Amino acid sequence: MATAYAYPFYGPPPPPEDAPVFSGSAELGFTHLTGNTDSQTLIGKVLLTWLTGNFTYSLRGEVRNVSKDGETSAEQYLLSVRERYELDGPHYLFGFARWEKDRFAGYDQQLSAIGGYGRQILDGDIHTLSLEAGPGYRDDRLRDHDDYRLAVAYTALDYHWVFSDYADIQQEMSVEYTDQNTTSRSLTALTARLNSKLSLRLSHEIKHNSQPPDDTRKRTDTTTSASLLYRW
């Protein structure tokens, strides 16, 4: 059985009664091609989760780097912290802060702070589903341009399906609407457990910006990866 509390991405499900006070996971994917093509790709993610009474806290860090023939073509960093407070019944409150830096997205960096209300629609051994929404604030810092301080309307879902004792599927989506643009994110992941600590993960991530900065060529970034996931 998967430990659902190990995946607080947008709307984490409530931890099981026997969940440890502190847990974490580390994910690493790396490819290196030589010969006719000289390229390398690095994807690293770390997630720490700890419990205090009705609170669930999580700290998440991510890094992505892609280079080809000595030239960097993708360089992304993310750091976020969030909390969830359990209310009576299938209700909770949440809040999170996030820092992002994407060298090729047209922003020098983005700072976000969002909070609101969530509801646990499903909470079983096979299926879990969380929905949440709330207001927030984002500071977009552009290169060689004025900064934008934006009000945000946010909504998200987190669905988890454990379809066998050794494998599960995770689907996470969020939308952040401002008067400048709408940012949508999606993560689809298939995780197959190799043993109690180590798993193989196949994932596909999509990030879409409806109106990116003028010096950005594409509105949509996608990442498809295979990686090893270690839990403790």
Q: What is the pLDDT of residues 75-112, one digit of tens each?
A: 889 999 999 999 988 999 999 999 998 877 778 889 99
Nearest to 187 by CA among 204, 202, 174: 204
DSSP, collapsed to helix, strand or coil, labels residue 16 as coil
Q: Round to the nearest angstrom and report the end-to-end CA distance of the chain.
A: 15
What's the whole-model pTM score? 0.84
d(CA 83, CA 49): 10
Per-residue exposure over 202-219, b if at least 16 CB sit within 10 Å of its own CB, e if not: ebebebbbeebbeeeeee
Predicted pLDDT of residue 34: 65
Contacts of 48 (CB under 8 A, 6+ apart): 22, 23, 24, 58, 59, 60
> How many Cα atoms occupy the beta-carbon half-sphere of 47 within 13 Å?
21
Average pLDDT rounded to a whole number, residues 33-43? 74
**The two structure tokens encoding residue 211:** 């109106």
d(CA 111, CA 96): 11
Nearest to 168 by CA among 205, 125, 197: 125
Q: How many residues does the chain have?
A: 232
Per the listing, tokens 């010969």 go with: 35
pLDDT at 208 over 50: yes
d(CA 209, CA 182): 6
d(CA 84, CA 95): 7
Predicted pLDDT of residue 9: 44
